[in-house]
């Protein structure tokens, strides 16, 4: 019995998605020297708790695989599979299966029998045994899928093997050479090694592709059609077909094809050259001060007649540029790495250092357009006697190899997030902050930006200076709103302007509106209180003091107890937002008797302040008078039928009546009654006592008149 290997390789590369559950296409590591290392990664998928390379469900009926770039459902009963749109999870390819003919006769295949299943961080694989041959399936989360058939030739002779692939419910949109457009995906039937496509045709709503080859004893056959998304990708190759030794001249094709494949065809070939490109999203990298190092890492999966490669800078955005613009950009400019022999042999984890010019370009792109594009080309495209090619493995390349990665080492310059005003005047303000983290860089200085009125768009430069963390800004207008922010310079000239915005209002500038010799009598004033107090008595010894302040304040309060002669100061006070502009803090006073409390609260940034006095009106004299009148001391305050205080008023008044002129007594009595009225108003005695004393005074006044008569 002889065994033959029959390889069938399919690549599924949907465009990386841009919805909420897909992302985290980078990794960062903090290095010991204070630098940060950023490395590109293919898009991950969010499972609700964490970012994962892929999600998988494996039960007795189906095996389901989902990543940011590929969704796949394999039927373990029929060995059929479906392709789903990774973004919408709707069916893109309703079914894809195959049958096998040997020497024109169909074979009956047993049911699926899964013999093994393995998985790692970057790949899953499983083997299906169907008697006549085994099939090894491999999928990786970057979006590639491959299956390999190992066929047993029981006849022991050369036989014609025909594999019939059926794409279920696949309606052809267009055909361009070897490419068949099914709408969501395009199938490229071209085989780089063997031309084995016998026929492609529509059949009752399906589409059928037949691959056929006579297999001799010990011969290996590889067939590699390719499925790709019809959306453009961020890596690929472009081919010029004019055969004139000029890659910039003539038509180009294969845009968006995800193979990185610098190639030059032989003189007899109708094609000229192929160049590759790859583009990365840098939006996850914050504003930085320097990029001391950057590298490009890749695998070489295939080489033909080795030729050296150039790795070149690009400025166009390959997602929107035309084919001619892309190929011209790759062929123009000085390479980061020129005539490099690294691409002349196969192998993994090959590294090209992008050098000082690459580091500088990366820094510029991080601070501007958030993308970086690298071109790949052969050093020379002059036609030789044979083809020259070097296949830089990308995410679709025969068997779950990693996508080429970009690694950037950078210093992160932190922003100023603690800017405060220590003093605000009519025409100037004093600012203060602390030095931020430099991420291994060297401080060059600071830049003060300001604007008026208040705004987060603090763009206009007010002052540039170095080596200090405080400054006075002069030349301001009185009673005017200003916003300030501090930018940080590094030694490379980069700046991080993304600190906190400080809003202040300058004080009144009396010199700005004063004209000697004139007065303004039509002005009006406003009662602007930045801090307000509201007292809420709960009972005789318990009260609540609510303090309302501007929500930009960092509030502090001091309570001075006069009789106890103690001070309590509070900072970092908890508060509650009560509207868009104000916060409120509350203090509760418990078991406070016979006390006067001076309250002083202020903003720790601007020193704006306000005072308040709390009095507790439970005094001993009032208690003693109440007890005296209520009989606590054995008497109700009476002398016979008369109230004791009333009796005292009468006696004092008679002293006045004993004068030569009774009017003196009357006046004296009026003073006494007036004093009683004051005591009554203060609730020290009752109003009835004052009324009685006044009535007694009237009687005496009448007696005095009668005596004069």
pLDDT in tens, 396-447: 444 444 568 899 998 777 778 899 999 998 888 999 998 887 766 667 788 8
Tell me the mean pLDDT in the region 41-49.
86
- Poorest-confidence range of 190-194, 202-206, 387-391? 190-194
- Model pLDDT, residue 265: 80
Placement of tokens 């393995």 in the chain: 118
- What rounded mean pLDDT belongs to the chain? 78
Q: Residue 138: name the closest of 167, 165, 118 by CA.
A: 118
- Poorest-confidence range of 168-172, 253-257, 381-385, 499-503? 253-257
Is the per-residue pLDDT at 223 higher than 50? yes
With a pLDDT cut of 90, the percent of the chain lying above it is 16
* C-alpha Rg value of the chain to the nearest Å: 46
Report the 3 state secondary structure along 312-343: EEECCCCCCCCHHHHHHHHHCCCCCEEEEHHH
More confident residue, 226 or 65: 65
- Poorest-confidence range of 244-258, 362-376, 480-494, 587-601? 244-258
Tell me the mean pLDDT in the region 644-659.
60
| 283, 369 Cβ separation under 8 angstroms | no
Tell me the C-alpha distance between 682 and 617, whole Å.
11
- Model pLDDT, residue 11: 40
Q: Indicate the helix (H) or strand (E) that contains 546.
A: strand 542-550
More confident residue, 237 or 657: 237
- Poorest-confidence range of 200-214, 475-489, 631-645, 695-709? 631-645
Count CB atoms within 10 A of the CB of residue 179. 17
CA 400 to chain centre: 31
Is the per-residue pLDDT at 288 higher than 80? no
| 151, 4 Cβ separation under 8 angstroms | yes
- Model pLDDT, residue 527: 43
Q: What confidence category does residue 344 fall into, taking pLDDT thresholds of 50, 70 and 90?
A: very high
- Model pLDDT, residue 230: 64
- Poorest-confidence range of 42-51, 400-409, 681-690? 681-690
Tell me the mean pLDDT in the region 304-317.
93
More confident residue, 448 or 518: 448
Cis peptide before 616 (omega within 30 of 0): no
- List domains and CATH numbers for the chain: 2-229 (2.70.98), 235-405 (no CATH), 420-505 (2.60.40.10), 531-615 (2.60.40.10), 628-708 (no CATH)
Cis peptide before 453 (omega within 30 of 0): yes
Is the per-residue pLDDT at 20 higher than 60? no
| 191, 198 Cβ separation under 8 angstroms | no
- Model pLDDT, residue 451: 87
* Total-model pTM: 0.57
pLDDT digits (tens, 9 = 90+) for 86-103: 777 788 889 988 888 888
Tokens of 535: 């007292």
3-state DSSP call for residue 604? coil
Question: Would you say the C-alpha torsion 110, 116, 117, 120 has a positive or negative sign?
Answer: negative
- Model pLDDT, residue 445: 80
Tell me the mean pLDDT in the region 552-566.
87
3-state DSSP call for residue 115? strand
Is the per-residue pLDDT at 372 higher than 90? yes
More confident residue, 590 or 640: 590
Q: Residue 159: name the closest of 25, 4, 303, 273 by CA.
A: 4
Tell me the C-alpha distance between 538 and 16, whole Å.
64
DSSP 651: H
């Amino acid at each position: 019995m002889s065994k033959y290997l029959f390889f069938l390789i399919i690549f599924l590369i949907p465009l990386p998605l841009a919805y909420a559950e897909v992302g985290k296409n980078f990794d960062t590591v903090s290095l010991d020297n204070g630098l940060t290392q950023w490395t590109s990664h293919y898009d991950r998928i969010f499972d609700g708790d964490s970012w994962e390379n892929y999600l998988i469900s494996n039960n007795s009926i189906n095996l389901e695989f989902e990543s940011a770039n590929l969704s796949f459902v394999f039927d373990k009963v029929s060995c059929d599979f479906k392709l789903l749109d990774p973004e919408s999870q709707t069916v893109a390819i309703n079914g894809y299966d195959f049958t096998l003919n040997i020497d024109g006769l169909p074979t009956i295949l047993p049911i699926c029998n899964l013999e093994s299943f393995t998985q790692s961080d970057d790949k899953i694989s499983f083997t299906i045994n169907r008697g006549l041959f085994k099939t090894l399936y491999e999928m990786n989360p970057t979006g590639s899928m491959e299956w390999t058939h190992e066929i047993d030739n029981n006849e022991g002779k050369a036989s014609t093997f025909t594999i019939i692939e059926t794409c279920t419910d696949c309606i052809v949109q267009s055909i361009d050479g070897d490419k068949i457009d099914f709408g969501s995906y395009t199938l490229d039937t071209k085989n780089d090694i063997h031309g084995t496509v016998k026929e492609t045709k529509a059949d009752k709503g399906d589409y059928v592709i037949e691959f056929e080859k006579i297999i001799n004893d010990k011969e290996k056959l590889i067939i590699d059609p390719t499925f790709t998304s019809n959306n453009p990708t961020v890596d690929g190759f472009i081919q010029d077909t004019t055969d004139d030794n000029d890659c910039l001249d003539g038509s180009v094709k294969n845009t968006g094809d995800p193979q990185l494949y610098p190639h030059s065809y032989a003189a007899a070939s109708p094609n000229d050259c192929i160049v590759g490109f790859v583009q990365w999203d840098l939006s996850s990298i914050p504003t930085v001060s320097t990029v001391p190092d950057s590298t490009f890492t890749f695998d070489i999966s295939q080489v033909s007649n080795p030729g050296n490669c150039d790795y070149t800078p690009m400025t166009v955005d390959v997602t929107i540029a035309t084919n001619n613009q892309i190929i011209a950009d790759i062929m123009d400019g000085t390479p980061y790495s020129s005539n490099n022999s690294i691409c002349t042999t196969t192998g993994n984890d090959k590294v090209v250092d992008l050098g000082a010019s690459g580091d500088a370009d990366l820094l510029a792109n991080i601070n501007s357009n958030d993308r970086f594009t690298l071109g790949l080309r052969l050093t020379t495209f002059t036609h030789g006697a044979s083809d020259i090619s070097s296949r830089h493995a990308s995410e679709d390349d025969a068997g779950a190899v990693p996508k080429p990665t970009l690694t950037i080492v950078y210093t992160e310059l932190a922003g100023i997030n603690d800017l405060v005003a220590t003093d605000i005047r009519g025409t100037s303000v004093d600012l203060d902050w602390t030095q931020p983290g430099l991420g291994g860089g060297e401080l060059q200085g600071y830049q003060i930006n300001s604007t008026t009125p208040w705004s987060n768009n603090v763009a206009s430069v007010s002052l540039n200076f170095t080596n200090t963390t405080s400054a006075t800004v002069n030349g301001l207008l009185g009673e005017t709103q200003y916003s300030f922010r501090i930018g940080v310079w590094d030694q490379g000239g980069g700046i991080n302007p993304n600190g906190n915005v400080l809003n202040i209002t300058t004080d009144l500038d009396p010199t700005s509106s004063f004209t000697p010799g004139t007065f303004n009598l039509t002005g009006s004033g406003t009662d602007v209180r930045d801090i307000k107090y509201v007292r809420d008595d709960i009972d005789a010894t318990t009260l609540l003091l609510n303090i309302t302040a501007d929500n930009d304040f960092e509030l502090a309060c001091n309570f001075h107890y006069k009789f106890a002669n103690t001070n309590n100061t509070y900072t970092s006070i908890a508060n509650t937002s009560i509207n868009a502009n104000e916060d409120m803090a509350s203090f509760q006073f418990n078991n406070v008797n016979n006390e006067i409390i001076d309250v002083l609260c202020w903003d720790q940034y601007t020193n704006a302040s306000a005072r308040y006095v709390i009095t507790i009106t439970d005094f001993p004299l009032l208690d003693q008078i109440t007890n005296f009148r209520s009989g606590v001391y054995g008497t109700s305050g009476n002398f016979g039928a008369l109230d004791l205080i009333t009796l005292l008023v009468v006696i004092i008044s008679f002293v006045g009546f004993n004068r030569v002129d009774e009017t003196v007594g009357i006046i004296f009595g009026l003073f006494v009654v007036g004093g009683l009225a004051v005591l009554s108003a203060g609730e020290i005695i009752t109003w009835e006592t004052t009324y009685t004393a006044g009535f007694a005074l009237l009687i005496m006044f009448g007696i005095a008149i009668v005596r004069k008569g």
